[in-house]
Amino acid sequence: MSTYERDKLNVNGDTVNLRDAGAVRFDRAQSLTAAQQAQARDNIGANDIDAYTKTQTDTLLSGKLDATQKGAASGVAELDSGGKVPSAQLPSYVDDVVEYASASAFPATGETGKIYVDTTTNKTYRWSGSGYVEISPSLALGETSSTAYRGDRGKAAYDHAAAKGSAFASGLYKITTNAEGHVTAATAAAKSDITALGIPGQDTTYQDATQLASGLMSAEDKEKLDGINTSWTRLCNVASTPNAAFDQIVTLDTPLSNTTKNVLLSVQRGNNLPTNGRTIATAIVPYTQFQGGAVYVTGYSSLVVSPTDPAAIFVVAVFIWISDSKVEIATNCKSADEYFRFRVFAQ
């Protein structure tokens, strides 16, 4: 280096004055004019060096968020993966209704003032302080005073009522109905409509009934019919033995009396009386006629009750009044394998 160049550097001890040389030092402080400082900045920018002054750096750092302020009290709220503020960092009035897949997924301890929704059942709950309480019990459908009526049936009932028919004056009509069963049209019925049903076209008159022709019952006959006592009381029930004649005085279970109207005398035949006996002869006589006399009861005893049956027996039995409490019953008919049973009834 020449003396001139050395003098130009003006080196004095450890201090190098580069002001005149136009150089910028980086190892220690250096006094530069404003023009030199501006030129230095231009030179640094021209060489694409991203550098900031201390002031610029301090300004930039003062606007940067401290990580400890994220999600902290008096700090700033965070954003989730969807770019939204998590509900945990929002005040309760911002998120009053929260949804969960089921009631079992609700927080162990709820918050007063919030509404919790079970999206599976669509039921809503509130926190009571100790547990979750359904806000309004589920609406039950039914047909009682404590249930709501089904909407589809209610609509069907409304449609039915809305499809009302027409009003007609009292009378006999041939009618037309709609699908709901309401009368929509009516035509007065004519006599031909009635006779077409098989009802006679003229008045029908009836005479009193006789033994040969049906008819109405006269008042006298009705009185007689009402006076007939159809209840019979059995007074005796005795049987013969096979292959033996029968003649016996029988004491009646209940004596006859002046109040007795009629007496019924009956003869049965069978091989196991009274299980399968069959009646072969009967007679009904007024009590006054039976009293003090005798009544013969006759009939054919056979399987087909016919005199042409080879096994037929013509039975003759006599019932003799002895007293109101005793009757003699006798017959000479007998059968090798069957019984005869004799009965007395009173009316």
* Structural domain includes residue 191: no
* Structural domain includes residue 21: yes
Number of H helices, E strands in the chain: 7, 16
3-state secondary structure of 287: helix
Q: Which of 100, 99, 98, 76 is nearest to 89 (CA)?
A: 76
* Structural domain includes residue 209: no
Examine the domain organization and report whether 42 and 99 are in the same domain. Answer: no
Q: What angle do CA 17, 19, 20 make, to 5 degrees?
A: 105
Examine the domain organization and report whether 8 and 96 are in the same domain. Answer: no
Examine the domain organization and report whether 113 and 51 are in the same domain. Answer: no
Residue ranges of the alpha helices (H) in 128-277?
Answer: 151-162, 191-195, 219-227
pLDDT in tens, 277-318: 678 888 999 999 999 899 999 877 654 444 454 556 678 899
Fill in the amino acid letter for 47.
N
User: What's the total number of domains in the chain?
Assistant: 3
* Structural domain includes residue 182: no
Q: Is the torsion defined by CA of 65, 70, 73, 79 positive or negative? A: positive
**Residue 116 and residue 126 in contact, taking contact as beta carbons nearer than 8 Å:** yes
Of the chain, the percentage scoring pLDDT greater than 90 comes to 20
* Structural domain includes residue 110: yes
pLDDT greater than 50 at residue 20: no
pLDDT in tens, 180-234: 788 888 888 888 888 888 888 787 787 888 777 788 888 887 777 776 667 889 9
pLDDT-derived band of residue 18, with 50, 70 and 90 as boundaries?
very low
* Structural domain includes residue 10: yes
Q: How many Cβ atoms sit within 10 Å of the Cβ of residue 91?
A: 7
Examine the domain organization and report whether 112 and 34 are in the same domain. Answer: no
* Structural domain includes residue 319: yes
* Structural domain includes residue 164: no
- Tell me the residue range of the domain where 122 lies: 87-134
Structure-token match 């009934």, residue found: 209
Examine the domain organization and report whether 27 and 92 are in the same domain. Answer: no
CA 118 to CA 102: how far, in whole Å?
A: 5
